[in-house]
């Protein structure tokens, strides 16, 4: 049975609103992850932990938070699969490697103060994490828009 134009528009609007809802939730989770990351990073740094080691630990804590909040709240997926966890780890380890490299380059090589170096690294890794998580890790199969 062929759908009428009204049904198609309603279906498209529903899919778009779901994507917008996911984007808003993903960003809210990202803010929480960033707060966790920055708080731990600067607390560890203040305690004398080397900044690259602090970056790895603080970012890792944000990754753990990100997985659970995005899985259950943002994308509302229930079952944990080994493939999904592997994809999530792959995306986030890639983002971690890039963030460590950027913090090192900006701070140690270009002598940018630590806070702006960390902010720049965070912006880049947020973009990588969003794209990878939305399109690959928690990808929900949807029918194409007709």
Angle ∠(135,137,30) on CA atoms, nearest 5:
85
The pLDDT score that the predictor gives to residue 145 is 46
The pLDDT score that the predictor gives to residue 2 is 60
Q: Per the structure block, which two tokens stand in for 6? A: 């009204």
The pLDDT score that the predictor gives to residue 39 is 96
Where does 47-111 have alpha helices with state H?
51-69, 82-103
The pLDDT score that the predictor gives to residue 61 is 95
The pLDDT score that the predictor gives to residue 144 is 47
Give the residue ranges of the chain where pLDDT is below 70.
1-12, 140-146
The pLDDT score that the predictor gives to residue 79 is 84
Q: Where are the domains of the chain?
A: 5-137
The pLDDT score that the predictor gives to residue 55 is 87
The pLDDT score that the predictor gives to residue 33 is 92
């Amino acid at each position: 049975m062929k759908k009428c134009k009204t049904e198609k528009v309603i279906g498209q609007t529903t899919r778009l609103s779901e994507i917008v809802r996911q984007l808003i939730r993903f960003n809210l989770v990202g803010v929480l992850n960033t707060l966790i990351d920055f708080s731990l990073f600067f607390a560890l740094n203040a305690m004398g932990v080397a900044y690259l080691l602090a970056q790895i630990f603080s970012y890792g804590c944000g990754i753990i938070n990100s997985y659970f909040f995005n899985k259950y709240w943002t994308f509302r997926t229930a079952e944990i699969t080994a493939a999904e966890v592997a994809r999530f780890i792959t995306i986030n380890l890639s983002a971690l490697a890039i963030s460590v490299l950027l913090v090192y380059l900006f701070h140690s090589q270009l002598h940018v103060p630590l806070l702006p170096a960390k902010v720049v690294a965070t912006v880049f890794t947020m973009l990588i994490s969003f794209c990878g998580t939305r399109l690959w890790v928690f990808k929900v199969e949807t029918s194409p828009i007709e």
